[in-house]
Amino acid sequence: MTEQIESLREYFTSIFESCSESANALQHVVVLSYEFDDQQVLNLALRRSLSAALQASTSDIAHMLRIVPVMIYDARKTREHNQLPHFMELLPVRSQPWTCHHAKAYLVVSQRQVHLALGSMNLTRTGLFANREVFETFTWSDTGKGEREDLAVLREFVGVLARGYASFDSRPLAAAIESVRQRLDRWGAPEDKESAMLIHQGYDGVTGLEALARAWRNAFGDALPERAIVVSPFFDRSAQGDVVAQDLKRTFPSLTAFDIVTDAQVAQHLCRDHFHPLPSTRLFLIPETLTERERERIAQANQPDDLAALAITRKLHAKVLVLARGDEALVYLGSANFTRKAWCGANHEMGVARVHRGSVNKLFGAICNALSAEQIDRYHDLPSNTPDEMPESEDDYQEQPGYPEFVQGIELVEMPDSDLMAFHVRAEPLEITQLADYDVSWGDLPLHFTHGHSNPLDQSQLIGRIIGGRNLKFVHRGAPERVYYLPFRHAAALFQQRERYVLSTAEDWMLHYLKEKLPLDRDTDEFVPGDPNIVDDDPAAAIHATRERNIVIGMQQHLNLFVRVQEAFRKRAAQCLEAPLPEQLGRWQEEVAEPLTTFADVLSRDAKGRPQSGADSLFRLGELVLFARELAAGSKAGHALWMRLKAKLPVQHHDVAVMEYLSFCREGL
């Protein structure tokens, strides 16, 4: 084990920089965490510095549509996120009572590489930049000798994803898993014996201690560990009952020495009974005051910021467990605190164990130096027992009276044979009536439910909440102070059409595919002329609104952009048809057919939604169909696209001239 010098910010920045190359585009992001900050999720999804504090714009969200980040977290840590856009895959894990989803892992897949980070850090600002954390990173690649080591970790990790979260039936998650599995099949089995092993509990009925014991046997056979080293910020709350030290001693009865490293503040709530089964116990504390060496390391990691005047505090959040015999050791780092919940089967936990060969005393010294722990034994300063419980930890189940436990899931679905949508709450038939105990709203929009189905919602209500509005608010009617936020998912059919909701106007769509900034990027307190219920007293906005109402000017603007779109998609079509034969159809669908079909849907919706200007919207749709006819001459796939877009033209219209034009677009001269 070596001290990790690289910061998390540097680690992710290097990944994003490598993904900026055209031949190594980002494909999938999957995060496991106990909780998360919406700002950090946004930064990760947008490939920005994780310390950035910028809000996502409509342009940003449009660029996220192909790469759908998957965020798996503990359902009870859902908060009122104001910045998260729609069509990110949020998967809240509903753990059993008194347990939590505590795993922390970051999977990033690009065209040429697979990256995996495992450790103790949640996707929060404190987890990434403030706490004392520990993590290990892996990179596997198609090219480069030495980049196929520890493939067993990756293989086991995708197996956990597939087994542990199959109930979500998530297409983005399934796509990420399949992408990695294809590479594993291509890479085959590694030649050398691997030194790293994935340790997890909560996914297959095996406890963390059982998994650790199995890893020890795989590494060292019948040899038994003699010493244990633990780094943890949290311990069992009470020493009056069973404690994890007893379980550790039962699992490894050969242990004769035990070292603990924790924060000085935590030690105020510890007693010797927390560790009474373990002999020769020593306790080493991290003082509240930062050492000069640690301040220098923080300053180096945060260049060019000046930290001299800042009062910096760093809480211990790292979790390490070392088993050793002589000069051989198994070093675990990950999400598991030194508690029974973390190691005896209750929580979802994850980490990695690696074989270390060399002086264990030097290893222990490196751990203490890295965490700025004083190497003075404080164990005998502890009382033999204490009636005071430990403060609540992240392992502790946070009881929330009135929480709508009966809700098994919420889905936003399209209503059959209409352009409307509704929320559907899944619950047991005998429990769905409990919805009446809550006032439920989506942002500022009250919802009313009948047999679990909400009142119908117009598409514009989703379009208007693309940024934010990611959760439903439940307020208990009998106790209005009890407010809970539950995330919803988008039905598969709705999710597949996400581009038409983000790129909600023809101009948005064209500017996005021309790689230009969308005009509707605006702050929450700004408005666009034409927004409903807005009194327009801005002269500049009034001029813009007048231009928008002028059909001639609006059509001229549209055609100027459409000419450029045609040129861009001619090039796309040619490149697809020049690709190797096995790739042609897939590339055509992704790069030509799906985008143009979405464009047609946006134009069709525009024609239906604005009767006063429906004719010009139909003209735009007709021009798109004529362009598709041009592309149809190049391939069978092009012909299929033309037929698909033609079917979107209305067969009847009250205006004779419009009807004649539609007939021309449908059949030609």
User: 636 is written with which tokens?
Assistant: 């069978």
d(CA 154, CA 334): 15
DSSP-assigned letter for residue 529: T
- For residue 428, which amino acid is it? E
**In contact, 348 and 203? CB cutoff 8 Å:** yes
Q: Residue 309: exposed, middle, or buried by beta-carbon count in 10 A (0-12, 13-18, 19+)?
A: exposed
Percent of the chain predicted with pLDDT > 70: 85
**Res. 82: pLDDT tops 90:** no
- For residue 125, which amino acid is it? R
Which H or E run contains 297? Answer: helix 292-301
The pLDDT of 505-512, averaged and rounded, is 89
More confident residue, 416 or 343: 343
**Res. 6: pLDDT tops 70:** no
Quick one: which of 629, 503, 512, 500 has its CA closest to 564? Answer: 512
Percent of the chain predicted with pLDDT > 90: 50
User: pLDDT tens digits for 583-609?
Assistant: 888 889 989 999 999 999 999 888 776
Q: What is the mean pLDDT of the chain?
A: 84
Residue 439's SS3 state is: strand
More confident residue, 491 or 523: 491
d(CA 343, CA 235): 11
Please provide residue 470's backbone torsions phi and psi, each rounded to the nearest 5 degrees. -90, -15
β-pair partners for 351 = 199, 334
Residue 114's SS3 state is: strand
Specify the pLDDT at position 395: 56
CA distances from 36 to 77, 104, 144, 466 (A): 8, 11, 34, 20
Specify the pLDDT at position 25: 84
More confident residue, 515 or 425: 425
Specify the pLDDT at position 111: 87
Q: Which of 93-97, 417-421, 609-613 has the lowest mean pLDDT?
A: 609-613
CA distances from 158 to 106, 154, 181, 643 (A): 12, 6, 8, 40
Cis? peptide before 279, omega within 30° of 0: no
pLDDT band at 178 (very low <50, low <70, confident <90, very high): very high
Specify the pLDDT at position 280: 93
Specify the pLDDT at position 614: 67
d(CA 12, CA 119): 14
Which domains does the chain show, CATH number per domain? 1-194 (3.30.870.10), 196-394 (3.30.870), 409-499 (2.60.40), 503-667 (no CATH)
